[in-house]
Amino acid sequence: MMSAMQNSVELAEKDRTFLQRIEGGMGIIADISRADLLLYVPKSTLQVVLLSQARPHSVPPIHETMSGAILFRDQQPAIFRALREGKPTRFAGGQIAEGAAPIVQEVLPVRNPEGKVIAALSIEKTMIEEERHKRRSPVFRQMVKQLHGMLLRGGLEGAEVLSPFGEHDGLVVVDGSGRIRYVSGIANNLYRRLGYMENLVGKYIDTLETADSRLVRQVLGEGKFLEDEAREGNRIWQRKLIPFAAEYSLGIWNRLWAGFSDYVDHGVLVIIHDATLVQRQERELRVKTAMIREIHHRVKNNLQTIAALLRLQARRTDSGEARQALRDSLHRILSVAVIHEYLSQEEVRIVNLREVARRVIEQLQDGVMDREKQISLQLEGPNISLPAQQATACALVINELLQNSLEHGYERRREGTITVNLNDGAEQVTISIQDDGRGLPSDFNLDEDASLGLRIVQTLVEEDLKGRFQIQGGRGVQAAVTFPKTSLGKSEPWEEE
């Protein structure tokens, strides 16, 4: 529900409070009425402001979000008529937009407790929904009118805590004596799943071996809204219970005299939602997520074991070149292990690139950097969310570029600074690594003179990240990797069937 209460025209504090009470009940009433609800207040004799708007979840809404809009008399004549005359106004046949279905608009004046008209509530639905409503039970139609009346009186305070009512939810109307007076087709099917094959209309709610009886009695006794979840047989039902009452009660003889044989003075509207399938899917997803996290944890452990073996082998080799190759491989493996460690701890598949970069830097500080040199590794830039596949390539890229700077830029220097900068653009990500080392040879050519590490970077960037890699000298070396963002909703390779 959208509101422009704070930016509205000037209202007396008591009127503002009263309208806020009405606003709180508009959401659930829009769902039950299968209509858009729009609350207008006058701005002048020629203008009204849309103060609040509730769009239904039970049917496609008619209007886009419009709260705060200012409309003129010729745009909404029914609103001005209701405000001026203080009487309900009905208008049928208006067009939503070019080529769209006609709508039915019922405008009800809103009076404050002193009886002054301070606003107008427009209930708008398509002509199709209006015809469907006419074919529903008189009990249901009367109950909806009573809820509209309660809404106008501010009698639905607290209804904003209720979750939305969807198109696949069932409706049951129970009167004040506990007798079932209306059961929607969806609700009837839901009860059949529990074994109630007969017509429930006319039966007392106490005859059902469900939680309905207890909940209805509680709501009738307390007069408060209630939302509950309970297991019914092998189903999981979520219920919303809404007490309703007429502005005044008719005696039985007056009721018959008035022709309201189906009239219900007061009762409870029970909204039933079968959450069995959704909760089963959520449970299966939680199990699947736990399994994936455990797999990531085991992969991380295996990678760390391999890294430990490479570290042991590097210590035992006599060849300096072989020792360096083993150490380079060791840190590549640990860079991949960072991603699996992250995913084993998080419940999502999205990885924070800044956190990955931080962990790669820490690993290099612990395992590669010469303790006798004063070289500072710095990280700048915002948090950037990436899919795990992209983040894995980025971890390797950052590792290779940092190792390249450490190994080649500071061979004859004892101090310096290497900065990793992350930039999150609208459509792309840029990782730049700047050092203040000795720089590149004047005749350096990436395609001809690149080391194994730089070739790995070039391959990862072009083939995995679908981006571009640039490296240039000057005062030190600056390497930049730019690549397009991948949709965060894209599945990982191991999830594709």
- Determine whether domain 361-489 maps to CATH 3.30.565.10: yes
What is the pLDDT at residue 492? 45
- Determine whether domain 168-274 maps to CATH 3.30.450.20: yes
Specify the CATH number of the domain 1-134.
3.30.450.280
Q: Could you tell me the two tokens for 228?
A: 């509950």
Q: Which residues contact 284 (CB under 8 A, 6 or more apart)?
A: none
Q: What pTM does this model have?
A: 0.63
What is the pLDDT at residue 493? 42
Q: Do 1-134 and 361-489 have matching folds? A: no
Q: How many Å apart are CA 122 and CA 79, to the nearest integer?
A: 7
Among 218, 161, 227, 230, residue whose Cα is nearest residue 194 = 230
Total Cβ atoms within 10 A of residue 495: 10
14-48 burial by CB neighbour count: b if 16+ within 10 A, else e?
ebbebbbbbbbbbbbbbbbbbbbbbbbbbeeeebb
3-state secondary structure 253-294: HHHHHHCCCCCCCEEEEEEEEECHHHHHHHHHHHHHHHHHHH
What is the pLDDT at residue 180? 95
Query: Environment class of residue 11 by beta-carbon count within 10 Å: exposed (0-12), middle (13-18) or buried (19+)?
Result: middle
Domain positions in the chain? 1-134, 168-274, 275-347, 361-489
Q: How many Å apart are CA 66 and CA 109, to the nearest integer?
A: 20
Whether the CB-CB separation of 19 and 41 falls below 8 Å is answered with yes
What is the pLDDT at residue 65? 81
What is the pLDDT at residue 73? 80
What is the pLDDT at residue 259? 47
What is the pLDDT at residue 240? 95
Amino acid at 46: L
| Residue-by-residue pLDDT tens, the chain, 497 positions | 555 554 456 778 999 999 999 999 999 999 999 999 999 999 888 889 999 999 999 999 988 887 788 888 888 888 999 999 999 988 876 666 445 678 899 999 999 999 999 999 999 999 999 999 999 999 999 999 999 999 999 989 888 889 998 889 999 999 999 999 999 999 999 999 999 999 999 999 999 999 999 999 999 999 899 999 999 988 999 999 999 987 755 444 444 444 455 678 889 999 999 998 888 888 877 777 777 677 777 877 887 788 788 878 888 788 878 877 887 777 778 777 777 776 677 655 678 899 889 888 888 887 666 667 788 999 999 999 888 888 888 888 888 888 888 888 787 777 889 999 999 987 899 999 999 888 887 777 776 666 777 888 888 899 989 999 998 887 888 999 999 987 554 444 434 43
